[in-house]
């Protein structure tokens, strides 16, 4: 089964994008990969990516049996070190994928910290990543008592972040056309769960026919899928990697 077929069958993600793929322009991650030495453009792109994908790293660190406060310090220290590096050429070794690069990097970072057996130093007291935004639910779900492995926590949080960003962009688009209420209603159709409102009920609430609602939801899912592909494109080096990452994301969501 192709990635498009798998996506179409997953209500958490949506249907395939028109023409099967998004246009692959130079993205944040490709800017980092193409950088030579201390490139301002690469540093800015990496900082933007780090601010977006800090949740998977925090979850991974917590799964190591580290307490919340120490985990925050370690996560801040990891990103501070990553952003202070003068040479970003090492990222090419991880198959050009941000997900793989960050996981390998944080493992190496934690191993170095254990060997040094010393507290993390943040330097100048800066907090480059907004860990204060981590919700109480996110903190509790990463408790060491949970049997889920560190790698699984990392993958789940990565997938959740990508999906949330795609849905947030879609929400902004609907709000920009004064269709916020329609967005809220159509979002209720994404989960395939017992007790969710029926299409007939939602159509009645919106004053639409059920057929019109079905067509609106079809457009909604196609646009959602397009944004999802674009979000994935930001984190890979080549267009060919988009489909592999999309299949991986679907597998993580279904696991």
The tokens describing 110, both together, are 């934690």
Alpha carbon of 190 to those of 70, 140, 167, 230: distances in Å?
A: 37, 26, 11, 19
Structure-model confidence comparison of residues 165 and 29, the more confident one: 165
pLDDT tens for residues 91-146? 555 557 888 888 988 998 898 888 774 444 545 555 666 666 655 555 555 554 55
Structure-model confidence comparison of residues 11 and 94, the more confident one: 94
Q: What is the pLDDT of residue 18?
A: 36
Q: Does residue 213 share a domain with residue 196?
A: yes
Q: Does residue 168 share a domain with residue 112?
A: no
Which one-letter DSSP state was computed for residue 65? T
Domain boundary among the residues 147, 178, 204 is at 147
DSSP 182-212: HHHHHHTTSS--TTPPPHHHHHHHHT--HHH
Task: Give the rounded distance of the alpha carbon of 61 from its chain centre.
Answer: 17
Q: Does residue 34 share a domain with residue 12?
A: no
Q: Does residue 156 share a domain with residue 129?
A: no
Q: Does residue 233 share a domain with residue 131?
A: no
Q: What is the pLDDT of residue 3?
A: 46
Residue 243 has pLDDT above 80, yes or no: yes
- The residue range of the domain holding 237 is 1-21+148-255
Angstrom distance (rounded) from CA 198 to CA 79? 44
Sole residue written with tokens 């990508």:
162
Structure-model confidence comparison of residues 22 and 57, the more confident one: 57
Domain boundary among the residues 147, 164, 181 is at 147
| Angle in degrees, CA 52, 228, 182, rounded to 5 | 105
The Cβ of residue 2 has, within 10 Å, a number of other Cβ atoms equal to 12
Q: In this predicted structure, which of 11-20, 135-144, 204-213, 216-225 has the lowest mean pLDDT?
A: 11-20
Q: What is the pLDDT of residue 133?
A: 61
Q: Does residue 206 share a domain with residue 107?
A: no
Q: Does residue 193 share a domain with residue 247?
A: yes
Q: Does residue 203 share a domain with residue 155?
A: yes
Angstrom distance (rounded) from CA 41 to CA 48? 11
Q: Does residue 85 share a domain with residue 160?
A: no
Q: Does residue 127 share a domain with residue 28?
A: yes
Q: Does residue 62 share a domain with residue 106?
A: yes
Structural domains in the chain (count)? 2
Quick one: average pLDDT of 141-169? Answer: 82
Q: Does residue 28 share a domain with residue 139?
A: yes
Domain boundary among the residues 120, 147, 174 is at 147
Quick one: average pLDDT of 213-235? Answer: 94
pLDDT tens for residues 44-78? 888 888 888 889 999 999 998 888 888 998 998 88
């Amino acid at each position: 089964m192709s990635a498009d077929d798998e996506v179409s069958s997953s209500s958490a993600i949506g249907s395939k994008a028109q023409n099967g793929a998004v246009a692959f322009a130079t993205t944040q991650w490709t800017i980092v990969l193409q950088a030579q030495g201390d490139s301002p453009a690469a540093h800015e792109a990496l900082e933007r990516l780090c601010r977006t994908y800090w949740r998977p790293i925090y979850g991974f660190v917590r799964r190591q049996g580290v307490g919340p406060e120490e985990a925050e310090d370690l996560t801040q220290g990891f990103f501070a070190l990553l952003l202070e590096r003068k040479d970003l050429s090492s990222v090419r070794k991880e198959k050009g994928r941000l997900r793989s690069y960050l996981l390998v990097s944080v493992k190496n970072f934690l191993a170095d910290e254990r060997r040094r057996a010393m507290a993390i130093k943040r330097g100048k007291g800066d907090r480059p990543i907004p860990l204060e935004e981590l919700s109480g639910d996110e903190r509790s779900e990463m408790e060491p008592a949970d049997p889920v492995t560190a790698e699984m926590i990392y993958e789940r949080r990565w997938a959740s972040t990508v999906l949330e960003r795609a849905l947030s962009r879609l929400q902004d688009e609907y709000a920009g056309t004064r269709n916020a209420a329609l967005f809220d209603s159509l979002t209720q159709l994404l989960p395939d769960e017992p007790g969710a409102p029926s299409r007939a009920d939602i159509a009645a609430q919106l004053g639409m026919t059920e057929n019109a609602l079905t067509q609106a939801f079809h457009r909604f899912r196609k646009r959602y899928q397009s944004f999802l592909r674009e979000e994935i494109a930001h984190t890979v080096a080549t267009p060919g990697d988009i489909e592999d990452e999309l299949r991986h994301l679907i597998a993580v969501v279904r696991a």
